[in-house]
Amino acid sequence: MQVEVKRENEYVPNLAVLKNRTDMTELETLFEFEFKDKDLQDHFSYKPGQFIQLSMFGIGEAPFSISSTPTRPGTIELGIRRAGDVTEAIHRLEPGDVVGLRGPYGNGFPLEKIKGKDILIVAGGIGLVPLRSAINYIIDEREDFGHMTLFYGACLPEERIFVDELENDWPSAPEVDVLQTVDECHETWMGNVGVVTTLFDKYEVDSENTVALICGPPVMYRFVVKELLDLDFRRDEIYMSLERRMKCGVGKCAHCQVGHKLVCKDGPVFTYFEVQRLQEAI
C-alpha cells in the first residue's frame, strides 16, 4: 500500500542516516539509508521504478531510482554511480552520516497492471538499478506474475552491478531465467559476449502475454525496441524508464520536460507508444 507522508514544504527533505555501503564496481556503490524519523521508517512506501531526491548538504540534490523493493521495508537502497559533484560526495559518505531524502516521486513501473503476465526485462549497465526493485518485487510476490526473464548487458564483466543476485539469487528463484552478456571480456569470462540485443538470438522470447521493461543508456533503447517490435511486442507493452536532468522532482522547474511531458511527474516510466510521440525522447 502506498502511504502518503505529507510534509509541510515539499522541497524540504527528511533526514536519513547511511546504514551500510557496499562497493559494487569502481564507479558504483550500493547505499542503504534509514530515515531518522521512526514514523517515516514505518510508513514510507514506494513503487518499483519511482525515484527519490537525495540532498548532500552544501553540495546539492540529485534524483536516484530506488533500488530496494517495498516488499522488504525498513531501509532504502540506492545504487549510485560517481558522475559529478553530488555523486562524488555521496561516495565519500561513511555509515552514520546524514543526508536528506524526499519523495518518492514519479510513476514507477505499472506492476499492478501487468499482474498475471510474463515479463521480459532488458537492462543495460546501471539501468539495472531501478529494475532490481521490480525484479525483487516480482520474486517476493511470485504468484502474482508469470515467468520472468532478465537480459543484462554490461561493457565489461567487472562493470556488472548486483553480481551476487545476478549469479545466485535470481537464477535460483522460481520461474526466472537470467542471461548476461558483456561487450568485451578477458579469458576468465565464460559467458556471452556482445551487446545486449545479441541475447535475443540465444533465447526464445514468446511475446504473447509478455510485457517488456527496459532501462539502460539512451543508445540501448532504439536497438532493444527494434528487437521487441520484430517479436511482435505491442508498443504500449514496452515500458522504458527515461532519465533527464532534474531540479525539483515535482513538476515545477521544467528541467525534465521531454516533448510535452515531464519525466518527473508523467514518468520516468513511459510506454514506447508514448515515447514515440515525444520529440527528443530517445
Partner 1 sequence: MQNYVIKKEDLNKLVERALDDYDVYAPVQKKSIHVYDQISDPASMDLNYGQTMTSAKKLFNPPVENMMTFDFDKKEIKDRLEDTIPENPSLIVGLHACDINGLLFLDRVYGGEYDDLYYQKRREKTTIIGLNCLESCESGFCRSVNTHIVFEGYDLFLTPIEDERYYVNVGSPKGDRLITLAPDLFEEATEDDVDAFRKSLQKKHESLPVEFHLDNLMETLDMAWDDPIWEEIGEDCMNCGSCALVCPTCYCFDVVDEVGLDLKESTRKRKWDTCLYYDFALVAGNHNFREEPEARLKYRFYHKMRGAVHDQGIIACTGCGRCIDACPAGISFLDVLAQLQKNWASAPTIEGGN
| Residues found near ligand FES in the complex (CB under 6 A) | 246-249, 251-256, 262, 264
DSSP string, 191-235: SEES-GGGHHHHS----TTEEEEEE--HHHHHHHHHHHHHTT--G
Is 12 a binding residue for partner 1 by CB under 8 A? The answer is: yes
Q: Which stretch binds partner 1 (CB under 8 A): 49-57, 69-77, 177-185, 226-234?
A: 49-57
Sign of CA dihedral 166, 67, 148, 240: negative
Options 37, 175, 253, 271; binder of partner 1; rule CB under 8 A? 253
Please give the grid coordinates belonging to residue 240.
522504458
What separation in angstroms does the CA of 68 have from each of 73, 89, 146?
Answer: 8, 21, 21
Phi, psi angles (nearest 5°) of residue 271? -80, 160
Options 3, 98, 156, 193; binder of partner 1; rule CB under 8 A? 98
Which strands make up the sheet holding 76-81, listed edge to edge? 60-65, 51-56, 98-105, 14-23, 28-35, 76-81
Is 159 a binding residue for partner 1 by CB under 8 A? The answer is: no
Is 69 a binding residue for ligand FAD by CB under 6 A? The answer is: no
DSSP state for residue 54 in the 8-state scheme: E
How near is the Cβ of 191 to partner 1 at its closest, in Å? 26
Phi, psi angles (nearest 5°) of residue 16? -140, 150
Nearer to partner 1, 55 or 180 (CB): 55
Q: Which stretch binds ligand FAD (CB under 6 A): 60-68, 108-116, 193-201, 204-212?
A: 60-68
How near is the Cβ of 217 to partner 1 at its closest, in Å? 8
d(CA 130, CA 66): 6
Nearer to ligand FAD, 31 or 44 (CB): 31
Q: Which stretch binds partner 1 (CB under 8 A): 58-66, 143-151, 153-161, 194-202?
A: 58-66
What's the gap between Cα 256 and its chain centre?
17
Note if the bond before 268 is cis, omega within 30 degrees.
yes
Residues that contact partner 1, how many (by CB under 8 A): 42
Is 251 a binding residue for partner 1 by CB under 8 A? The answer is: yes
Options 3, 71, 72, 84; binder of partner 1; rule CB under 8 A? 84
Q: Which stretch binds ligand FAD (CB under 6 A): 13-21, 74-82, 176-184, 231-239?
A: 74-82
Nearer to ligand FES, 73 or 100 (CB): 100
Residue 156, amino acid: L
Which H or E element spans position 43?
A: helix 38-43
Task: Specify which residues 67 forms β-bridges with.
Answer: none
Calculate the dihedral angle through the C-alpha atoms of 241, 246, 249, 251, rounding to the nearest 10 degrees: -100
How near is the Cβ of 66 to ligand FES at its closest, in Å? 16
Rule CB under 8 A: which residues touch partner 1? 8-13, 15, 55-61, 81, 83-84, 87, 98, 100, 217-218, 243-245, 247-248, 250-255, 257-262, 265, 279-280
Rule CB under 6 A: which residues touch ligand FAD? 51, 60, 62-65, 79-81, 83-87, 126, 129, 243-244, 246, 268
